[in-house]
């Protein structure tokens, strides 16, 4: 697959000169990290460039929905004439605007759990394997794919921090989430039995979450980038002393036998994935929506308490809070005349809350937060995945 060089303009969504050959992905992951990293400097809602979240939420009066609809709806209406149409919730089907299949980039090999998540969201999608998470983002930004799917947290091992950082560094929008019950299998080449295994290869998370069985087998563990990549590696090198922790679908794709099924230590092993796109979807209220934001605060007693109170005051349920170091400014030096200068770690706070940006209470909560947040960006407003 050849790559055309394109210019990326921030905040607009022109169709670039990418010529889609229509060919199926070869199965070899894409890898082309070479452009300058784009760092988010300003706060914006969705893809509506020129309209900051500050502007979108500040002028909204509590509970005020005029005949013309909410302020946010007016902003969207005003924006329609000059910008491409945002994706709608109905775009969570398997057809793109031009009727072709949705192309989804993901990190890993065919047969990985992330690819399973893409198929759960878009059963007929065409998946595009990538070498790195960043490649999956860039594939969308360069119009090579329509969407990207990436893991964000696991019920047992917690957050995938790298992807929180990438969400901020790139300007894609969260347009959906997928919750997947991850069922690990122990795989090996045909004819190999578990007592022949000296080592087991997989993604570090898959190995650590299958600790009970692997300890019983007394095998050594070898980390690779993804579960399906481990299956491919064992097959292509004909390794008869090595097992793999991966999915039943990976066993089928690479011709491995399943020696044990459901080997995860916790029977409830759920990974949550995000679906990202160039454009946001229009927030609605006819189904349960979630909104994801990232913000920073000044130092001071109770500032995080105040930030969280803007949601509690409006009866908005928080489903996730994560903090990450501000890599651009990891330390804040504060001059205190009594004790000298103090050094604080500076954090970004990521919050998911259960409300749609079409609801006044969500707009009001963010308007309130904006009064004391030093930075605020809405990462996306999207339908909740309530299925497993
Ligand atoms: O290796 C894979 O198959 C993946 O899709 C990645 C990933 C992850 O990074 O969290 C996804 C779910 C599994 O729990 C293990 C690994």
Residue 118 and residue 67 share a domain = no
Out of 273, 289, 295, 349, which one is annotated catalytic? Answer: 273
Q: Give the CATH number of the domain where residue 123 resides.
A: 3.40.190.10
ipTM over 0.95 threshold? yes
Residue nearest to atom 10 of ligand 1 (CA): 151
Residue among 239, 225, 30, 50 nearest 138 (CA): 30
What's the mean pLDDT in 168-184? 97
Residue 379 and residue 315 share a domain = yes
Q: How far is the CA of 203 from the centre of ligand 1 (A)?
A: 7
Which of the two residues, 66 and 363, has the higher pLDDT score?
A: 363
pLDDT of residue 252: 98
What's the mean pLDDT in 199-205? 97
Residue 163 and residue 121 share a domain = yes
Q: Which atom of ligand 1 is nearest to 250's Cα?
A: 3
Last residue of a domain, one of 233, 267, 301: 267
- Whether pLDDT at 34 is above 60: no
pLDDT range class, residue 47, cuts 50, 70, 90: very low
Give whole-number Cα distances, 266 to 100, 206, 214, 290, 332, in Å: 39, 12, 14, 27, 40
101, 125 contact by CB (below 8 A): yes
Residue 253 and residue 208 share a domain = yes
Q: How far is the CA of 278 from the centre of ligand 1 (A)?
A: 24
The answer to whether position 192 is within a domain reads: yes
Which of the two residues, 173 and 328, has the higher pLDDT score?
A: 173
pLDDT of residue 247: 98
What's the mean pLDDT in 229-236? 98
Give whole-number Cα distances, 326 to 13, 228, 296, 349, in Å: 28, 33, 9, 10
pLDDT of residue 333: 54
Residue 104 and residue 70 share a domain = no
Q: Which residues line ligand 1 (CB under 6 A)?
A: 108, 112-114, 151, 154, 160, 182, 203, 205-206, 226-228, 271
Do the strands 185-188 and 331-336 form a parallel or antiparallel pair, or are they unpaired?
unpaired
pLDDT of residue 5: 28
What's the mean pLDDT in 38-67? 31
Out of 127, 227, 271, 291, which one is annotated catalytic? Answer: 271
pLDDT of residue 339: 58
Distance between CA atoms of residues 22 and 297, nearest Å:
46
Q: Which two tokens stand for residue 58?
A: 């500040």
- Whether pLDDT at 26 is above 50: no
Q: How far is the CA of 227 from the centre of ligand 1 (A)?
A: 7
Number of structural domains (the chain) is 3
pLDDT of residue 95: 52
For residue range 300-339, what is the model confidence (pLDDT) as tens digits? 889 999 999 999 999 999 999 999 998 666 555 555 555 5
Last residue of a domain, one of 239, 267, 295: 267
What's the mean pLDDT in 196-210? 97
Q: Which atom of ligand 1 is nearest to 202's Cα?
A: 1
Q: Which atom of ligand 1 is nearest to 229's Cα?
A: 1
Distance between CA atoms of residues 126 and 27, nearest Å:
11
Domain that holds residue 336: 53-84+280-383
Residue among 348, 335, 346, 359 nearest 307 (CA): 348
Q: Which atom of ligand 1 is nearest to 206's Cα?
A: 15
Q: Which of 105, 112, 229 to mutate to test the pocket of ligand 1 (most atoms within 8 A of CB)?
A: 112
Q: How far is the CA of 228 from the centre of ligand 1 (A)?
A: 9
Q: Which of 8-17, 30-39, 181-190, 285-294 has the lowest mean pLDDT?
A: 8-17
Place of tokens 């010529």: 19
Do the strands 103-107 and 347-353 form a parallel or antiparallel pair, or are they unpaired?
unpaired
Q: Is 271 a known active-site residue?
A: yes
The answer to whether position 11 is within a domain reads: no
Last residue of a domain, one of 267, 294, 329: 267
Q: How far is the CA of 114 from the centre of ligand 1 (A)?
A: 6
138, 148 contact by CB (below 8 A): no
- Whether pLDDT at 91 is above 70: no
Q: How far is the CA of 347 from the centre of ligand 1 (A)?
A: 27
- Whether pLDDT at 29 is above 80: no
Residue nearest to atom 1 of ligand 1 (CA): 226
- Whether pLDDT at 75 is above 50: no
Q: Which of 93-97, 157-161, 202-206, 360-364 has the lowest mean pLDDT?
A: 93-97
pLDDT range class, residue 52, cuts 50, 70, 90: very low
Residue 365 and residue 289 share a domain = yes
Q: Is 227 a known active-site residue?
A: no
Residue 354 and residue 375 share a domain = yes
Residue 151 and residue 134 share a domain = yes
pLDDT of residue 170: 96
Distance between CA atoms of residues 291 and 308, nearest Å:
14
Place of tokens 């119009």: 143
Residue 323 and residue 298 share a domain = yes
Q: Which residues contact 257 (CB under 8 A, 6 or more apart)?
A: 187, 188, 189, 190, 191, 192, 251
pLDDT of residue 328: 65
Q: How far is the CA of 122 from the centre of ligand 1 (A)?
A: 18
Residue 379 and residue 286 share a domain = yes
Which of the two residues, 298 and 207, has the higher pLDDT score?
A: 207
The answer to whether position 262 is within a domain reads: yes
Q: Which of 106, 136, 148, 154 to mutate to test the pocket of ligand 1 (most atoms within 8 A of CB)?
A: 154
- Whether pLDDT at 344 is above 90: no
Residue nearest to atom 8 of ligand 1 (CA): 151
| DSSP class per residue in 316-378 | PPEEEEEEEE-TTS-EEEEEETTTEEEEEE-EEEEEEES--TTSHHHHHHHHHHHTTEEEEEE
pLDDT of residue 224: 97
- Whether pLDDT at 44 is above 50: no
pLDDT of residue 286: 86
N residues, the chain: 388
Residue among 151, 160, 215, 156 nearest 186 (CA): 215
User: What does DSSP assign to residue 89?
Assistant: G
Report the chain's mean pLDDT, rounded to a whole number.
79
% the chain with pLDDT above 90: 66
112, 105 contact by CB (below 8 A): no
Residue among 93, 89, 119, 91 nearest 104 (CA): 119
The answer to whether position 294 is within a domain reads: yes
Most confident option among 7-11, 13-17, 105-109, 322-326: 105-109
Q: Give the CATH number of the domain where residue 77 resides.
A: 3.30.70.260
Q: Which atom of ligand 1 is nearest to 269's Cα?
A: 14
């Amino acid at each position: 697959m050849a790559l055309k060089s394109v210019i990326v303009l921030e905040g607009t969504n022109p169709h670039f000169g990418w010529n889609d050959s229509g060919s199926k992905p070869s199965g070899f992951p894409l890898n082309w990290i070479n452009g300058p990293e784009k760092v988010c400097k300003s706060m914006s809602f969705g893809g509506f460039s020129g309209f900051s979240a500050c502007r979108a939420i500040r002028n909204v009066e509590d509970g005020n929905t005029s005949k013309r609809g909410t302020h946010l709806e007016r902003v969207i209406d005003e924006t329609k004439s000059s910008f491409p149409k945002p994706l709608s919730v109905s775009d969570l089907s398997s057809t793109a605007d031009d009727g072709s299949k949705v192309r989804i980039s993901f990190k890993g090999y065919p047969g990985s759990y992330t690819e399973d998540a893409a198929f759960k969201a878009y059963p007929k999608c065409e998946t595009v394997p990538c070498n790195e998470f960043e490649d999956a983002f860039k594939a969308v930004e360069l119009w090579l794919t329509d969407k990207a799917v990436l893991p964000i947290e696991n019920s047992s091992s917690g957050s995938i921090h790298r992807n929180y950082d990438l969400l901020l560094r790139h300007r894609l929008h969260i347009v959906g989430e997928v919750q997947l019950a991850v069922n690990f299998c122990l795989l090996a080449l045909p004819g190999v039995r578990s007592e022949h295994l000296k080592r087991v290869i997989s993604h570090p998370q898959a190995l650590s979450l299958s600790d009970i069985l692997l300890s019983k087998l007394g095998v050594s563990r070898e980390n690779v980038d993804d579960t399906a990549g481990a299956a491919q590696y064992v097959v292509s090198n004909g390794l008869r002393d090595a097992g793999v922790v991966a999915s039943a679908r990976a066993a089928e794709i690479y011709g491995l036998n399943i020696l044990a099924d459901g080997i995860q230590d916790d029977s409830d092993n759920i990974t949550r994935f995000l679906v990202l796109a160039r454009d946001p979807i229009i927030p609605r209220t006819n189904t349960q929506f979630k909104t994801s934001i990232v913000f920073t605060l000044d130092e001071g007693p109770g500032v995080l308490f105040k930030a969280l109170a803007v949601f509690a005051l409006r009866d908005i349920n928080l489903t996730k809070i994560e903090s990450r170091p501000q890599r651009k400014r990891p330390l804040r030096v504060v001059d205190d005349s009594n004790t000298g200068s103090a050094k604080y770690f500076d954090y970004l706070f990521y919050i998911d809350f259960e409300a749609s940006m079409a609801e006044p209470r969500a707009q009001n909560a963010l308007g309130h937060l904006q009064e004391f947040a030093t930075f605020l960006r809405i990462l996306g407003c999207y339908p909740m995945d309530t299925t497993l």
